Chains A and B, each alone.
Chain A
Amino acid sequence: MSCPHAVEVNDLTFRYATRGRPALRQVSFALSRGETALLLGPSGSGKSTLALCLNGLIPHLIEGEWSGRVIVDDLDVQKTPTSLLTQHVGIVFQDPESQFCLLTVEEEIAFGLENLALTRPEMEGRLQLVLRQLGLEPLRKTRLDRLSGGTKQRVALAASLAMGCHILVFDEPTANLDPRGTAEVFRLLADLKASGDYTILIIEHKLDDLMPQVDHLIVLGRDGTLVADGEPRQVLANQAETLRREGIWLPQMTQLALKLDKAGLRLEPIPLSIEEAQAALERQDGRLLWSTAATGPAVPARQAAPPGGSPPAISIRNLRFAYPGGQEVLTGANLEVAEGDFIALVGPNGAGKTTLALHLVDILRPPVGTVSVLGRDVRALSPLELTRQVGFVFQNPEHQFVTDTVFDEVAYSLRARREPEQKVRAVVQATLEEFGLERLARANPFTLSQGQKRRLSVATMLVVGQEIIILDEPTYGQDSQNTARLAEHLLRLNASGRTIVVITHDMQFVADHCRSAAVVLNGKIALQASTAELFAERELLTAAGLARPPLLELSLRLRQRYEHFPLLWSPSQFAGLVTVPATSAGGESKG
């Protein structure tokens, strides 16, 4: 091929016909053949739009105003029919459930080949090739709905590869997956990269495991302009502040380097992976100082749970549950959550986390004597009493919207309890202000942004003064600013004495904010412990498909070299260990 670039984007501006402002503004970059590029940007910055511009769905099928030029594999996208472009550029989409239209693996992979009007023997040949390449042979006739999320993404990739694509776009491929599925997709990416045959563009937020694969970093800003384009280490070293202002997730190792830099310790080169950070810190031997006395469980002290005496906020004893005609989901779960705790329920998809939580809010009815809330059996409480004590925030905030304005949404539970309207107004006003929604009081809940919807759904669950609040995957689909804001609210609620239960896959969130954690595995609570204790359980974490947050992993590795290195999980904890620039070239500096 004549051109060294697999993809060339020149001064691309695109505005959807239905929208006022362009989704992309004057974007230019190029991808070399065989390189792996990471595309970052806050929500709404046009990342997915850019993906569709590469395979020609924009402008051929989605209308709008287009200017500039996009070349893929020497084809001008604007002048090439999609039937040809789709044989060069393949996309794996975010939602594994809604990117298929057939029922089994082989049918789905063959679908694209049928559209290209290949003969039956040609289809069979290509099918066998990709099934072998991706290790899908044993699943050839399997129904798609029986596959795990990670494997579904593998099938979606197989479908693109079968069509002959060598430019592959992954649009948040792990956003809907549990940690195990995420690992499966990342392994797949590593294999693709290792083969050297593919040019890859990934849109992704889980950066720490991915960074070592990335050759090229492209960043879009809130307004759809190109903010950065270059070698990842350079971009992160020079433009980290810009990226953070845009609300973009940065790799933990980068955040660490930035924090340490501020504290007077410069890591060079700026680390992208745990291994690099470890090496860089070991080179700076003597610049981190910690006291051997503070080890043991090695958790920086957090506010202790209130002293005993009062009944636990939640008590679950030997809870079993099976859906009618289905498999047993809960097989004797025991859990006791102290009042004022901030606890995470973690575990693989399908382990029973949500099922367990639904027993606390009368959606699923436990047998008498198994589940109690604040000392009272949930079966003895009326639904109204129970919802006064326990709030439940669903994974999809839209599910719980029942009125037409934000104000009414918050007022709903109060009005349902026949509170005087004057009091309702006062409480709603205060709640809206607390959650930063006061200017949206008249808006329809469905028109809010993702972050606003999430905050509204939390706000509605608190107005009657619930003591316990349960959140199902609250950080799902949120960018870093929204997540930080939500965490702030939750910590404030927790500080005021409320018990918080978070169902999540986000282990960094667990490490940063939760006091304790319960691992749900095969319908039982496999462990309930402080978060520090949880992260020390290597085998259990593996069994539950959970990963340690990257910085915690780093501190554990440092501990192998420095006997008493503490367990740390946030950049500022590391920064707290930095000593004033050493006057002498000190050796070991354990306190």
Chain B
Amino acid sequence: MVSGSPSLLAYYERDSFLHRTNPGAKLIASLVLIGIVAVFFDPFTPLAFLMLAVLMARFLGGIPWQRQARALLPYFPLCLGLVFYYSILYRPLPGQSLTPLASVGPLLLTAEGLRVGLSIGLRLLAIISFSQAFIATTDPVLLVMSLIQQFHLPYRLGYGALAAFRLLPLLETELSAIRAAHRIRGVGERPGIIGRWRQLRRYAVPLLADAIRRAERVALAMDARAFGSSPQRTYFRTTPLRPSDYSFLAGTLAISLAILLCLSQLGLLHGFLEVPR
């Protein structure tokens, strides 16, 4: 009722290579890529993989530059904050000396700190970028189908998750209506932890009452259409693993290794907590 801007971290409906790729394969690829970004501690690896994510999303997933930028933009202030925070407050590891770059009053900006800050900020952006590429190119229904069909997720759980996913926007609308109703009663949004807690409790009762009623109704409607009434079940939308999915996985691994190899040849690659020379 009172909210309503479409989320940028949502499925972006169109046809592309990534849209056609098996969601499970995409999930594995995304986890591998995010894993790589997480274990290297230099700024160059996340930068390279951020570029990879953005290029993949654009050319394999058909997601326009603009949309990608708008999805990443909200995180820029946080990333910049991290860069400055570490640049100034970084403490040397044992046996490490710091190279001052500039000083602002009592604050000293060091090259090592800047490096750590950049590595963390870029890593965050790279992870968001991979997540965005995955979410934007994956139909949530197909993801659940793939989890059921290839990863043996019990189908009751899978469909339950889908039903809950459908209810989320409704609950969001509901919450904004409750907030509006409470404001009209003159119940202001209180500052402070205790105020927040009380407010949460007040919102929670009508919200939960509504969520439970809706969930009951959905469950009833699903049962009325024979959900779970026989041991066998077939699927209208199937997500077979095709040769192209294997190629996609292999390609992703090959490119990742190639990037890592290049970086290490250039002497730019550093693992977790490894002291740079």
Contacts and interface: CB of A to CB of B under 8 A. Distances in A.
Interface of A: 52, 55, 57, 61, 81-83, 86-87, 90-91, 93, 95, 97-104, 106-107, 110-120, 123, 145, 156, 159-160, 163, 323-326, 354, 358, 361-364, 383-384, 387, 391-392, 394, 396, 398-402, 412-413, 416, 446, 460
A163 B220 contact: no
B210 interface: yes
B186 interface: yes
B5 A325 contact: yes
A162 to B, nearest CB: 9
Contacts of A82: 223, 226, 229
B184 A361 contact: yes
Interface of B: 1-6, 139-141, 159, 162-163, 166-167, 169-170, 177-178, 180-188, 202, 205-206, 209-210, 214, 217-218, 220-230, 232-238
B225 A86 contact: yes
B141 A102 contact: yes
Given A116-B230, A324-B5, A55 B224 contact: yes
B229 A399 contact: no
A403 B2 CA distance: 23
A396 B205 contact: no
B221 A98 contact: yes
A102 B162 contact: yes
Given A363-B184, A400-B182, A120 B234 contact: yes
Contacts of B226: 82-83, 86-87, 112, 115-116, 163
Contacts of A446: 205-206, 209
B185 A57 contact: no
B236 A106 contact: yes
8 contacts: A91-B224, A98-B167, A100-B221, A103-B162, A111-B236, A115-B225, A163-B226, A325-B5
B218 A364 contact: no
B100 to A, nearest CB: 45
Contacts of A392: 181, 184
A317 B104 CA distance: 54
B220 A101 contact: no
A101 B159 contact: yes
Contacts of B229: 81-83, 86, 115
Given A100-B221, A398-B209, 14 more contacts: A81-B229, A93-B217, A98-B167, A98-B214, A98-B217, A103-B139, A123-B236, A145-B169, A392-B184, A396-B206, A399-B180, A399-B182, A402-B185, A416-B187
Contacts of B170: 97-98
A92 B254 CA distance: 52
B186 A400 contact: no
Given A57-B224, A99-B221, A364 B178 contact: no
Nearest to B213: A98
A101 B186 contact: no
A114 B233 contact: yes
A110 B186 contact: no
B245 to A, nearest CB: 20
Which of B6, B183, B184 has the most CB atoms of chain A within a 10 A radius of its CB? B184
B218 A98 contact: yes
B251 to A, nearest CB: 30
Nearest to A460: B185
B228 A93 contact: no
B218 A101 contact: yes
Contacts of B188: 383
4 closest residue pairs by CB, A with B:
A110-B236, A99-B221, A83-B229, A112-B225
